[in-house]
Amino acid sequence: MNFELDSMGLVAASDAKCDVLLVLVPQSFQAAKDDLSELVGQVLKSGDLESKPGKPLTLYRPTQVHAIRLVLAGIGDGAARQVRTAVLAAVASVKSAGLKRMVVCFAGPAKEDAVRAAVLAVADASYAFTYGMSKPEGRTLQKVSIAATNASELRATFECTVATVKGVEMAKEWANRAANHATPTLLAEAAKELAKHAKIQCEVLGPKDVAKLGMGAFMAVAQGSEQPLRFVVLRYAGTAKSVAPIVLVGKGITFDSGGISIKPAPEMDEMKFDMSGAASVIGVFRALALLKPTVNVVGLIPACENLLSGRAVKPGDVVTSMSGQTIEILNTDAEGRLVLCDALTYAERFKPSAVIDIATLTGACVVALGGVRSGLFASDEELGAELLAAGETSQDICWRMPLDEEYAEGLKTNFADVANVGGRAGGAITAAKFLQRFTERFSWAHLDIAGTAWKSGGQKGATGRPVGLLLEFLLKRAHSK
């Protein structure tokens, strides 16, 4: 799907030849003398269109426009959330109508966050996953024009958002794939494909390489599966080598049965999404290839399956991490922190300016924050504030969680340096405290995306979060230098 940004108002939009003309109408709308403006004013006055978003009005071949369908959608005060709600509802209402070309026109000057919301919503509403379908019915929408009278002021935001869409959809694509079509090896191959783009390099380490590095925690998780582990190292070189990189670490458990501490059967199929952190890192690198910001980024993906077999790690086993710290594995379903801790230690060699890990880590974070905000933990106040702000700007929101030292008490054990779980209470926080033990040599943040990486039920599928948040953070870092 191709997006373009056009400088035009309602008069020019009425002449656009397209399948659907979507007009976003704010509550402050004042009708001008042109036919389309007068029509909008009439339907507002009659009450057939509400300024409150979510209830679009569709007209078939109205004489006032050249589009086959005209959709009028109220956007309230024009805030990003209002625009997103309106666009999602509008696209859903015409999605099955042979929709190939759409013009989305703001009935007045548009704000940057409103344009960002419109682009993201169109992409989200029209996305179609087809991999594995014998008779795929893909996305029909091929071209979308975003129209506003102040388009020149919105160019930078628009281009960034279009790149974000590419990254989000790549993350969705890999997270949505069945586990047998997204093995550690296949995930590593997807990362290698990114190296075809300028400024990106990729290295993939196998079991022997990881063993030489002493990644005992990572290897323990992988040992129950016949699929060999892969450790992916992506590099984006956007500026001088002397500039310290930002390291993104994505949890890549391509299927999580829970191991010996096996999960309940209901919804276990959704554990194919347990590599959503890794998918988000791949998505970010896809967007970096398009935007080419002046920042250095390293992506680390420890990828493996967590299965139960005669070789699987057992509750009570003690392993030695790459850092040299010993870990008692009390619950094999707390495997994400085990693969991440070795990746975090590996990150030290890059002498990073910051390290951010992204993981579908705990059900406790879902209980705490639901599916609205990702959990944000940070050992550095400035880094935490930057990520929180990036989430608000990108509309990929998160919430700051505590890291008080008292939460680490539950991780004490008589048989190793640390246990991998600390009880049910504050589970998302104790998981973060476990990871923090391996981050003393750099500025660190942790994003728990267990509640936001995918949706269940009738809308089951990956969301592509937090690609938008991470990309916004990286771009702000690039511009601050």
CA distance 448 to 171: 16
- CA-only gyration radius of the chain, Å: 24
CA angle 335, 255, 340 (to 5 degrees): 35
Q: Which residues contact 478 (CB under 8 A, 6 or more apart)?
A: 238, 239, 293, 294, 295
CA distance 141 to 119: 13
Question: For 29, which DSSP code?
Answer: -
CA angle 196, 201, 204 (to 5 degrees): 105
Phi, psi of 445 (to 5 degrees): -140, 155
CA distance 23 to 9: 10
What is each CA distance from 202 to 137, 176, 285, in whole angstroms? 33, 23, 11
β pairing state of 418-419 and 326-329: parallel
**Tokens 């057992």, residue?**
314
Sheet holding 143-148, edge to edge: 2-7, 143-148, 101-106, 20-25, 69-74, 57-60
Token output for 185: 């090896």
Supply the residues annotated as catalytic.
263, 337
Q: Which residues contact 352 (CB under 8 A, 6 or more apart)?
A: 244, 245, 246, 247, 298, 442, 443
Question: For 229, which DSSP code?
Answer: P
Q: Which conformational region is residue 379 in: left (phi greater than 0), alpha (psi within -120 to 50 degrees), or beta?
A: alpha
